[in-house]
Copies of this chain bind each other. A is one copy, B any other.
Amino acid sequence: MEDTLRSPNAMLSTVSVDCVIFGYFENMLSVLVRRESVPFNNQIIEEWKLPGNHVLRNEDINATAARILKEQTGLEGIYVKQFWVFSDPDRLKKRPQDYEWVKPRLKDDRVLTVGFYSLINIDSIDNTQLIEVAKWVNTNEVKELMFDHNEVFEEALKKLRYDLLHEPLVFELLPEKFTLTQMQKIYEAIFNTTYDKRNYRRKINKMPYLIPLNEIQTGVSHKPARLYSFDRNVYEKTRTERFDFRV
């Protein structure tokens, strides 16, 4: 409501974007960033957090997400999706050791953060130029993070699972050319289950945007599988609504 006189109680906030970057290589992986050590109770604690940054003056939040992706991983053209706004007034105070360290820097009331998740394809992960303090970790082995970042992470994973049930986001995690087994394994990893190979293939073969190529896998020590690709144009024609995009 921009047209009322500003209430003296209106919050003045910096806004940040925190990105849960998902990739798949044998397991579901996610990028965490090591923060400078935190002194707390006379101890030095090594702390990890999600990659994130402030929204800048001339940026929309999607540009912020794109910038974070570029800075942290060196990658561009990555799938990103905003999934939730974390706005608890006390969200930075949930872990006092983090808050004590941040507090002196705060000039505004709050820091509200928009949670994004992003999906990176297998091949990119090999040549990701992660910044020095970042690393890929197994999503099952995420330890305690700063602030409310565990909550952000868990919500991202929930939302990814939910979205995958309704949209073929799995292609964002796959390389340009992939095998059906690779695709199946990603679903199995995310949903922590297994599927019957024949039924799985029967089902996905009905997707008109799944294109079989006249090419086979190389570099494997067994029968090579056929490669497939994802036709984005065909997919775009089949859907009516979008709540995501590419940065």
Could you tell me which A residues sit within 8 Å of B by CB distance?
1-7, 9-16, 18, 35-36, 49, 51-62, 68, 82-85, 87-89, 92, 98, 101-102, 105, 107-114, 146-147, 158-159, 161-162, 165-166, 241, 243
Q: Which of B52, B62, B82, B89 contacts A1, CB < 8 Å? A: B52
* Nearest CB on B from A21, distance (A): 14
**In the complex the two chains form, is A55's CB within 8 Å of B11's CB?**
yes
* Nearest CB on B from A126, distance (A): 26
* Nearest CB on B from A232, distance (A): 20
* Nearest CB on B from A66, distance (A): 13
A59, A83, A146 — most chain B CB neighbours (10 Å): A59
Known: A2-B92, A12-B14, A161-B241. 4 other contacts (CB 8 A): A10-B55, A11-B14, A62-B87, A166-B166
**In the complex the two chains form, is B60's CB within 8 Å of A105's CB?**
no
Please, which residue of chain B has its CB at the minimum distance from the CB of A92?
B2
**In the complex the two chains form, is A6's CB within 8 Å of B105's CB?**
yes
**In the complex the two chains form, is B3's CB within 8 Å of A56's CB?**
no
Report chain B residues within 8 Å CB of A60: 87-89
Report chain B residues within 8 Å CB of A68: 1
List 13 A-B residue pairs with CB atoms under 8 Å apart, sorted by A's residue number.
Answer: A1-B18, A2-B111, A4-B54, A6-B54, A6-B107, A9-B58, A10-B54, A10-B57, A11-B15, A11-B57, A13-B13, A61-B85, A158-B241
- Smallest CB-CB A-B distances: 9 pairs: A1-B52, A10-B54, A61-B87, A60-B87, A1-B53, A9-B56, A158-B241, A11-B55, A2-B111
Q: Give A15 to B86 CA distance when docked, in angstroms.
A: 13
Report chain B residues within 8 Å CB of A58: 9, 89
